[in-house]
Each structure stands twice: as structure tokens, then as C-alpha cells.
Structure 1
């Protein structure tokens, strides 16, 4: 049977309650024992302290037996002892204690001796224990008081332990219930009076939940993007293949073969770029740096030129530096194709410029910009999710901001100390 937080609370309460009950029983027994000892010790000290007075009285001519108080009688002659107390004379010198079940009643006895003018005389003090000790009813009352106090302490202790246990278990139960009823976008939280460790735990859970949600969104975008990008060259290849089956002049067939070759090349580049994300998950080492070539950028612009010309958008390139970059040509192509397509779709006319410097690559358009709902960390558009993922793969940073004339998408290179 699996243990739950509720059953753990009951078990902890039972364990602590058992300990509290044991402690209460020990305290009760110790209290009774100490009271008995204190009572007997006081009576023994009383006899010991009154013995010099009895000795002085006998030396001054007092006769045995000598009544010292309502409970104490002194003897200096064994013959004067009552018949039932005759055995007291046989006790050793210095005896001081209570005798139980020896005589009809319990008595305290002090056996000593002193030197008289002619001989040594015994000194015997007898105290009636029943008159100086607490009665049975008084002991019962004291026991009831001790028991009541002990039980009250047990109840308070058990209540405190139960409340403390529930307080310790409550955050765990709260987190468990939130985990069971979580719909994926719910933030975990605990009460303010929970310990710091539980607040740190909920913060970690919320952080990991956000990461999971981000990865799910990225995976969905990856699936949609890969499906869209791979379907386009496949459609071109299938259409060109069907056209090749038809009779035509060599020039027409050559054009179709070129379309097939170009579509296959684009598909290969897309696959290589997407597989770079898988390499990151496998923990492969980062690729070496390579120089960014102007020819590479011109080829990318040529790919999006037909789409730009349909909207009468002019594409320009400004190369202020030839930085060293880590992404391969297929990866850089996918990054810039996504940014350029996003810029073209957001523009109706004007021009789009690509500028390269030592710190990054910028794509600026003259479109309508982003609305307030689009200003998210990953920008807007399906391909920008892939851009963000690829940037994280190579320690780049992607930003998308409005400008005075449109929108600026920028790929920030890592600092020299951060580059791998």
C-alpha cells in the first residue's frame, strides 16, 4: 500500500503521541517516587536532629520513656520499651529508617547511644509513621493531581506535535494536489508560512514547467515548420517528375531537371539545418568557426528575390565585416530565409536590408511592424521559433523590435569570451 501525506501525518502523530505518553508515564512514576523519598527523608532528619535534645534530657535526669512530641518517644533503657518493640534493642547502632510490616504500624526508628556518668546508655527514638506521613486519601489526591497535570501536558504536547506535523506535511500535500490537477499552465504555489525549502521547490517546479511548455511549443513549431518546408520541395520534385514523363523538347526537360535538382538541394539543406538541433540534444561538440562569405549571403537573397519582387520590395545587402561564425551554410540559410520571409510577409512595399557587422546580422524592413500582442521573446511567425532554437544551439541571441520605419530582426553573435 502506497503511503500518502495524509497517512504520514497520522503515523507521525501516532509516533509522537506514543512518545508523549511514555514520557508522561515516566514523569508520573518519578514524581510519586520522589515524593515518597522526600517524605521519608524529612522524617529521618527530624529524628536525627531531635536526638541531642533527648540525650540532654536524659542526662539531666529525665526518665524513660520520654515523650518528646505527639509522635516521638525516646528511650534510654531497653527494659522500658513496649513488648512489641523489644526487638528494636537488637538493631545496630546508627540505625535510622522506617520499618514496614514488622510491627502493627509503620514506625521510624533511630538507634544510638551516649555515655553517662557511670555507663553507656542506649538512645532509642520511635516515631509513629502513620501520624507524620500522608494518609492514603491524601496520596490518592496527590496522584490524581499529578496524573491530571501529566495528561494535560500530554494533550498539549500531542496537539503541538500534530499541528507541527500538519504544517510540515501541508506544503507537500498542496504541491501533490496541484501536480495531480495541473493542466500544464498552472503555477505551483505554497502558503506564505511554508519553509524556505518549499518555496524554492515550487520556484524550481514553475521554472521547469515553463521550460517544458517552451520545449513543447518549439517541438510543435518544429513539426509544422519541417512539414511545410519539406513538403514544398517534394511537391516541386513530384510535379517536375510528372512533367518529365510527358514528351517535350530538350530545353523543357532540362528546366525540369534543374527544378528537381534545386528542390533536392533545398531539402538537403533544410534537413542538415534541422539535424543540427538533434546534434545539440546528443551533446556533440560545437562546430569550428568559419568566415561569413558575401557570396553565401547573395545566394540567400536570390532565393527570396522572386517573393520580394511580387510585392515590389527591393533587397539590399550591406557587408561591413566578415565575421567568424559557427553555424554551417544550411543553418545560416534557414536563419536568414526565415527572417527575410517574415520581413517580406510583414511588408507591402519599400525595401528590406541585410546588414552584417562584427556583432551580428540585422534584417530591417519597412513593414507595419509588430503589434503589442506580437512582442514576445520568440517574436511572431512560425519560423521564428526555429530561429530561436538555432540561436540557442550556437549561443547566439535573437531579438525582434519595432523601428521608426518597420521592424528590425537581429542575430547577435556571442561575445568573444563566450564563443566556443
Structure 2
């Protein structure tokens, strides 16, 4: 399933908001972790300093427990004087190091053990719970950070929206100019405030358009020259064939075939030349009459085979020049007659469609040794694409081929 396309501005906004939210989450997590780590370091430092000061003042303390001044830390010499809940939390194998005791309802203690000169262990405990940030305090801290981030996000979105408009606006304008099908020359008006890349893109599109128009004009000029050079000798040849036919009294089959061949060449030439012209300037033709003419012209291809040619539909218009219609219908009809050994070839025309159906071997099932190598259906397909006519040739389930041309009805 393909994802729906998005506008450039929307993509920029979404990516920015996603980046901001992700950065805020990572930043908040780092601040919280750093805050707790810093608290632990401060508490451990206070306990170490208090223990060092106590040992300096009392190298061999007599009392087994007591309270230190300042932050009211508690000390014990050995573990015998400790309360039972605290004794259970202390490992007697600890030597000269800091540790923590989680006493549940009794408190959260940062502790330090030092070995005295007489071999006894000094334990110093500091209840840090009153000094640790509570959950409401942390929530308030996060709310403050969240508010600051939201304010910064709104300010950033305001400037980002202005910046993205400078990018998406020219892009939408270029898409509109390119999409209307007209020439882009002089229409790519990109604001000076737009990024340089967009201005360079607009200039590149205009340059490419100019080169394409130059090539098209060169092709049109060639078609005009080629049209004259090809039509003139064909017209002379056709006229000469008519003169010879008159001298022969119209009875020579060879001259009739020659005239038909020259006429086919004229129509084929005209059809090919239309590939380089604007299809919008073409005039519609009566495709029913073209079908009748093609049947008369190519009916001799049947020969002695038991094949009948039948036509249905009259007065149907097709939005192509008559010469192009002759090329389309003639190639399809010749193809149908060439691959039909018996049965029927039906040429049916209706509003917006033309079908040529045969009872031959079926499209795509012909013997490769009997297939031709002319322009044939390839030219028909190219002409159909040029005049925006749908063309399809498919094999029929019960044998044979149906070639179908469809177009929009002519108003």
C-alpha cells in the first residue's frame, strides 16, 4: 500500500516538531539523571569529610555510637550498637568505602566505613531523605522545562512557517506552471527571497524548456520539408499510374495494384508525418467511410480462402485526420486478413469505439516463421498515443483476435 504524498511545508513542520519533542525527552532524561548523580556525589562528599574530621578529633573513640554535629550524622563503632534493622543492612566485611542503605520507613542513608588505627570499623550514616527531591518537586521541575520548551517551540514554529513558505510557495508555483501544459518561458517568477537552489532550478527548467522548444521547432521544420519532398514524387507516380491506366483502358490489374500501393504509401507517409504535428489541429474524419475504403483496398488479400469481410456501423466520427485513420484501420485490417485462414473478419464502428474482430490464430499465437517485420501495429500504437486514443489487441477465448480503438465522443 503506497503512502499518501505530503506537502513540503507539512513535512518540514512534522520533522521539526518530532525533532524538538525527541530532543526535549532526551534532555529531560539527562537532566534528571545528572541531578540524582550530583546529589549522590554531594552527600558522599559530606559523609567523607565528616568521617575524616571525626577521626582526626577522636582517634580512639570511647563511645560505640553517637551523633556528629552539622547535618546530624550518626556514627557507630562496629555493628553491635546498631539497631537490628540497620545491622541487617550492613555487611560486616565492608572496609574503607562508601555505600547506601535503603531503610524504607527509617530513611535513605549514605554511609561510609573506615578502619581505625585500633582495628575497629567506624560507620558513619547520613539520612539524605529530607534533602532528596520529592516526586512533586521533580514534576514541578519537568513542568517548568516543558513550559520553556513549548514557548521555544511556538517561537521556532513561527519562524519555521515563514521559512517553509519561502520554499513551498515557489515549488507550488513551478508545479502549477509545469502542470498546465503551456510554455514556461517567462512564467517562472521566483521571489528574490527564495533560496538560491530554487532560483537555480527555475532557471534550469526554463533553459531546458528553451532547448526542447528549439528541438521541436527543428523537427517541425524537418517535417515540413520532408512532407514536400515525399509528397511530390508520390503524387507524380500516382498521376503517371493513372495515365497508364487510361491508356490500358482500366483493365490492367498490375496498374490497379500499383495505384493502390502508391495510395497506401501516400497515406502511410501522411500518417508518419502527423507524429511530428500538433494533434489538436487535426480534423475529425468519418471512420465508417475509411473502413469501407480499407475493405475495398485490402479485400484481395483473402484470395481463395473461405473468409468473409463484414462491416457494421455508419456515420461514426473519429478525432484523427483521414490519412491517419487509413493507416490505423489499414494496418489492423491487413493483420487480421493475414492471420485468418477461414471464418470472418468483422469491422464494427460505434460512437467512441472501433473494433476489428477475426477468427484467426489469435493475438500472440502466430507462427514465428510467418510473422512480418514491418511497422504495422507498432505504428498504430504510436499514432494512438499521439492522438490520445486507447488501443488494445487481445486474443479471444474462442479463437481469433479483437483489436479495439476507443476515444472520447466528439461533441
Using structure 1 for the length normalisation, give the TM-score.
0.46
Using structure 2 for the length normalisation, give the TM-score.
0.47
Q: Which has the higher contact order (CA 8 A, sep 6+)?
A: 1
Larger Rg: 1
